[in-house]
């Protein structure tokens, strides 16, 4: 059953993946636009007592569901914040070792250019900004127009925004969105293996 497979991913495959991409037991991780927090949970299963995971999303309803799930399943160690990520301050970013921007950059709900430029000056020099892009055909350019992107174009854009490309991890990130689609869930036919996979790109500020 897919729910069991998702939980298994969060507890086993996900943590191994988060270690592979560079999260350590001492890492302070910020999952921006965390959605249902699958990546925050996987990260939480890597960090030890001196590490920390903060998961942030502007969607109150989704974070309410996440909070209930944490209570029901006694999932501890993740600080949840309901706020647009644009409201975060320099203080919030100062201690962060690892930022997850997963399945978020394509949207026009926030201005990634402005946001990435702003946090570029706030983050530590060794902080990893990790991107997992999906919906590459629906990316927006600076003017908000839809534009087809490629991983190469994302790397070039990050370079322009003053971030160095560090590493890529091919086809290992899961696109969880479909799993939460009411339509797909009602049909009840989705398997874990049918979820799309994508490449994770890691950057550091120049």
Ligand X SMILES: C[S@@+](CC[C@H](N)C(=O)[O-])C[C@H]1O[C@@H](n2cnc3c(N)ncnc32)[C@H](O)[C@@H]1O
Task: Collapse the DSSP code of 75 into the 3-class scheme (helix H, G, I; strand E, B; otherwise coil) and give the result.
Answer: coil
Asked if 45 contacts 11 with a C-beta cutoff of 8 angstroms, the reply is yes
Residue whose C-beta lies closest to ligand X: 35
Quick check: 195 and 175 in contact, CB under 8 A?
A: yes
Which residue, 13, 43, 49, 20, is CA-closest to 31? 43
Among 9, 98, 102, 139, binds ligand X (CB under 6 A): 102
Is residue 177 part of the contact set for ligand X (CB under 6 A)? yes
Binding range to ligand X, per CB under 6 A, among 12-20, 58-66, 68-76, 89-97? 58-66
| Placement of tokens 């203080």 in the chain | 91
Q: Interaction with ligand X in 11-40: which residues (CB under 6 A)?
A: 33-35, 38-39
- Interface pattern 108-137 for ligand X (x via CB under 6 A): -xx---------------------------
Closer residue to ligand X, CB minimum distance, 185 or 206: 185
Nearest CB to ligand X, comparing residues 38 and 44: 38
CB 28 within 8 A of CB 96: yes
62 in contact with ligand X (CB under 6 A): yes
Our finding on whether 41 is near ligand X (CB under 6 A) is no
Q: How many residues bind ligand X (CB under 6 A)?
A: 20
Extract the tokens encoding 101.
């921007």
Residue numbers at the binding site for ligand X (CB under 6 A): 33-35, 38-39, 57-59, 62, 84-86, 102-104, 107, 109-110, 176-177
């Amino acid at each position: 059953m897919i729910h069991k497979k998702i939980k298994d991913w969060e507890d086993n495959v996900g943590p191994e993946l988060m270690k592979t991409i560079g999260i350590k037991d001492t890492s302070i991780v910020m999952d921006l636009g965390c959605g249902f927090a699958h990546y925050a949970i996987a990260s939480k299963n890597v960090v030890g007592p001196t590490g920390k995971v903060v998961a942030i999303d502007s969607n109150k309803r989704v974070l309410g569901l996440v909070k209930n799930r944490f209570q029901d399943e006694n999932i501890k160690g993740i600080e949840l914040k309901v706020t647009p990520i644009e409201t975060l301050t320099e203080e919030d970013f100062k201690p962060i070792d690892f930022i997850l921007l997963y399945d978020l950059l394509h949207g026009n709900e926030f201005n990634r250019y402005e946001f990435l430029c702003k946090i570029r000056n706030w983050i530590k020099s060794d902080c990893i900004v990790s991107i997992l892009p999906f919906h590459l055909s629906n990316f927006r350019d600076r003017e908000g127009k839809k534009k087809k992107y490629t991983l190469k174009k994302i790397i070039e854009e990050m370079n322009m925004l003053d971030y160095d490309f560090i590493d890529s991890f091919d086809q290992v990130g899961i696109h969880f969105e479909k799993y939460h689609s009411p339509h797909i869930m009602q049909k009840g036919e989705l398997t874990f293996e049918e979820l799309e996979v994508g490449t994770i790109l890691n950057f550091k500020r120049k």
